[in-house]
Amino acid sequence: MPRIGDNTAVRDTAEAEHGSSPVETAKALAEAREALKGYETSALADVAAMLAQTAESLARAARDLRETGYDEWMDADQAAYYLKRTPKTFRNIVATGEIPKHYLTERGILFSRKELDEWLINR
């Protein structure tokens, strides 16, 4: 039976039980640590790229909204009035998918004056 102070016996017991020496285990752990660092770096780079694309897309959408102006966008009641339809008739038209709707702000669904004009022309 190995004594507590006898390192050789403890090492021999560990090797017998686990199949590797402490040096081999340390090397394996170091290799695993390096592999995980590489994976972590790769994953963080992917997340950073995705965030950059999202930020660019949001900036483009904000720029488009500023250029378009708020007069270009109407809520359902304004769009119904613009098309000279009752709100119920307008909702029915929207439900068929004939008129595109957009979720651009916290105000809810908005409609583009340009798309409403196109719908009127193409009817």
Question: What is the three-state SS of 78-118?
Answer: HHHHHCCCCHHHHHHHHHCCCCCCEEEECCEEEEEHHHHHH
pLDDT at 2: 47
pTM, full prediction: 0.43
pLDDT digits (tens, 9 = 90+) for 40-76: 888 888 888 899 888 888 888 777 767 765 568 899 9
Per the structure block, which two tokens stand in for 64? 């488009």
Contacts of residue 74, defined as CB under 8 A and 6 or more positions apart, other chains included, come to 82, 110, 111, 113, 116
- Does residue 14 surpass a pLDDT of 60? no
How many whole angstroms separate alpha carbon 78 and alpha carbon 70? 12
Phi, psi of 35 (to 5 degrees): -60, -40
How many whole angstroms separate alpha carbon 12 and alpha carbon 29? 20
Q: Report the chain's mean pLDDT, rounded to a whole number.
A: 81
What is the strand order of the sheet 73-74 is part of? 73-74, 108-112, 102-105
pLDDT at 10: 52
Per the structure block, which two tokens stand in for 97? 């998918």
How many whole angstroms separate alpha carbon 108 and alpha carbon 16? 69
- Does residue 25 surpass a pLDDT of 90? no
Fold exhibited by the domain 70-123? Arc Repressor Mutant, subunit A (1.10.10)
| Domain layout of the chain by residue ranges | 1-68, 70-123
